[in-house]
Structure 1
Amino acid sequence: MILVPDLDQLGLDGVAWQRVCALAETRQVDHKFLIDVQSNAALLGRWDVVYALSFLAGLETSVLIDAHDAVSVDWGSPGRVALAPPVGCAAPFKVWTHTHPGFDAYWSG
């Protein structure tokens, strides 16, 4: 588990945060609760939370926020995140970013 500040901003308490961290650590990254927390964190600009869960899972996370604040989250191995088609998302996208857990930076192509 990684401690993050201001869990109440996310609508979470310590027990809920422990649960979502456990889901990430066991790579249950398609679990609705984990996806909901990732999406809410992204909408709130809580990139520390998005990164922490990515780090715990040891996977990259791609986060897309569309013109109407719909969030699409995809997960993949370091160096490769297969993106699901963002069906229903509206351009222009506000944010489209991804993590590099462990701080390994490289050019994406």
Structure 2
Amino acid sequence: MKLAAITTAVAISSTVIVAWVLAAALRHSVFFYTADGYMSPRTAVRVGLMKDEEASFSGGLAFRKTGGGGYDYREEMAIAFIDQTGHTDIDLLAVCERLGDCELRK
């Protein structure tokens, strides 16, 4: 009887964890799909949104303008879907126009 309860609890816990990981991965993918632009790691370091030691492991930052002002951004790398979205009031479109090394999507 106890074994069945433990097995059920483990199954439910595993299902919840898998669902959370899938939801996080979906949110991450949607963010990149709807982003206004992409910034290379080198430019992200120059702007101060990424540390120099992180740049060699990163695919860069995707960003999008928010309704309340500023930009939300996420790092593009394998485990980044676990990280939260960052926010900055830096005008990233202007930075990209000035520094280059960006891809504007809209």
State whether TM-score is above 0.5: no
TM-score, length-scaled by structure 2: 0.24
TM-score after normalising by structure 1: 0.24
Q: Which has the higher helix share?
A: 2
Question: Which structure has more RCO (C-alpha within 8 Å, separation ≥ 6)?
Answer: 2
Larger radius of gyration: 2
